[in-house]
Every structure is written in C-alpha cells, then in structure tokens.
Amino acid sequence: MADAMASMMNQVLELRGIHFSYGQQAVLEEVDLSLGKGQFLGLVGPNGSGKSTLVKLALGSLLPDHGEVRLFKTPLHQFRDWSRIGYVSQKANSFNLGFPATVREVVASGLYGKMGLFRRMTRKHWERVDEAIDQVGLSEYGHRNIGRLSGGQQQRAFIARALVSDPDLLILDEPTVGVDARSTEQFYELLAHLHREKGLALLLVSHDIGAITAYVDRIACLNRRLFFHGNPNEFSLRRQEVLTAAYGHEVKVLEHGHEPCSTG
C-alpha cells in the first residue's frame, strides 16, 4: 500500500481514460499511461498507431475528446511550468541544413522559455549552454554551424537544447529517423547515460523495438489502445503475443538498430 502511494506521488506524466479522434477517425481509445519520476519509458507501435498523437496530448498541443492529462500531478489546463519538460522531435527529416546558427546558439534557444524571449543572455546562461553541450559530447563543435554536423551530432545538439533548462521530463518523438545505425546506437547510449546520471524521466517514442528494450525500464505498446504497459522482462516473455495482437499479424523483431518486420 505504501509503495502504491509513493508511486502515485511521484507521477511525472499521467494519461487517464484518453480518447481522441481526428473527425470520425478514432486514434486513441481508453488509454491509461503513466510515467514516474526517474523512469525511462519506451513507447512502441506500428505507423498510425497514435504514438505521436499521444505525445501531442502530453505536451498540450492537442486536447483529448475524453479523459485527463496530468503533468507533475497538475491537470494539463492548469500546468504552466513548461521549462520542466524538454522535447526532441523528428528533426532529421525536416531540419534546414542551411540554417545560419551555431550549435551554441541553437542550444541557447532552449533557455528562452525559462528566461523570457527578450532577456539578454548573461555569462551564467552561456555557462549553462556550454555545460549542456558538454553533457552530450559536443564540446568541440559549439561554434560550428549546426548544418555542418552529421545527423547523429545534430540530434545530440537538439538534446542539449532540451536539457539546457534542466527539465525533469524529456520527451523524444522518433528522434533517430534519418540517423544511421551507428549513430542511433550511440544516441541510445547517451539517453541511458542521462537517465542514470541525471535521474531524468524519459519518454522515448520509437519503432526500434529490439534496440530500445535493452535501454528502457518500462515498455508501452500502443495501437489505438494499449496492448502492454510494464517492465522489459515481462515484455520479452510476452513479446510475440503482444506484438501480434498490436500489429494485427506476426512480427519478427530484429535486435539492435533494426525496425520490426512482418514475417507473414
């Protein structure tokens, strides 16, 4: 009983009885999902399963038809402390490589929400920017134009941008799209390191079931509704059953850096 109460008190993100539709098309039905302080949750599922919609609901850019979203135990419509949440999107497919900004300038933009858009950056602010860049292993690239970095390095820069305001929750929506396999594995290693060293709560949306299972401590499998929400060991024992139900056909999972592919 005490453990259950402690778990409730430490909730960072809660979605309760969530229903959402685009017009007449139901996207999410009766979804109950939670993320506790310091947990690393991997959210998996097929294309069109509602994963990105769920992220938008968690970030307040969409509102559910029914159900409730809470951030740090606060109902979404009352939540104001957005600097506690860092967000990394599917940048790789849409980033303008000619954008005239250095890595330091891109990372510094992550402070604007906390300090105000028109406040002047102080020495302390720039020190925090450099700390965030160092945390993701890009110290030697701080003054380089971000468009000259590799896809994996750019994603590290965007993680630094999300980290610079010292968030308690980091949400990443398919962050390795367009990134090569070697950089993807290094990216997951970085997330695992940040999770261990900073005690961040992380929500990672990915197709890469085989790889992320090795890094996260919670797995949720979504396709309009939740088919699984638990620890990786239990998921591994039930993986074929869960994925067949969620994907609607038998699925073969290739380990480390490969997406699941159908076997029939």
Look up residue 14 and give its two tokens: 């809660």
Residues 6+ apart with CB under 8 A from 158: 88, 91, 106, 175
Per-residue pLDDT tens digits of the chain, which is 264 residues long: 434 444 556 899 999 999 999 999 999 999 999 999 999 999 999 988 999 999 999 999 999 999 999 999 999 999 999 989 999 987 544 556 677 899 999 999 898 877 765 678 889 999 999 999 999 999 999 999 998 888 888 889 999 999 999 999 999 998 877 777 888 888 889 899 889 888 899 999 988 888 788 899 999 999 999 999 999 999 989 988 999 999 887 666 655 544 444 343
100, part of any domain: no
254, part of any domain: yes
28, part of any domain: yes
Write the CATH number for 30: 3.40.50.300
Tokens 């134009």 correspond to 145
* Whole-angstrom distance, CA of residue 149 vs CA of residue 219: 32
Look up residue 19 and give its two tokens: 């229903």
120, part of any domain: no
Tell me the per-residue pLDDT of 189-237, one tens digit each, with 9 for 90 and over: 989 988 988 889 999 998 888 878 889 999 999 999 999 999 999 998 9
130, part of any domain: no
* Whole-angstrom distance, CA of residue 153 vs CA of residue 97: 13
User: In Å, how far are 80, 196, 232, 233, 256 from 202, measured between CA atoms?
Assistant: 20, 11, 15, 19, 20
The domain containing residue 187 runs over which residues? Answer: 2-92+168-262
* Whole-angstrom distance, CA of residue 31 vs CA of residue 54: 9
101, part of any domain: no
Number of independent structural domains in the chain: 1
159, part of any domain: no
184, part of any domain: yes
What is the predicted pLDDT for the residue at 255?
Answer: 58
Q: What one-character-per-residue DSSP string does the chain give?
A: -HHHHHHHHTEEEEEEEEEEEETTEEEEEEEEEEEETT-EEEEE--TTSSHHHHHHHHTTSS--SEEEEEETTEEGGG---GGGEEEE-SGGGT--TT---BHHHHHHGGGHHHH-TTSPPPHHHHHHHHHHHHHTT-GGGTTSBGGGS-HHHHHHHHHHHHHTT--SEEEEESTTTT--HHHHHHHHHHHHHHHHHH--EEEEE-S-HHHHTTT-SEEEEEESEEEEEE-HHHHHHHHHHHHHHHHSS-EEPPTTT---EE--
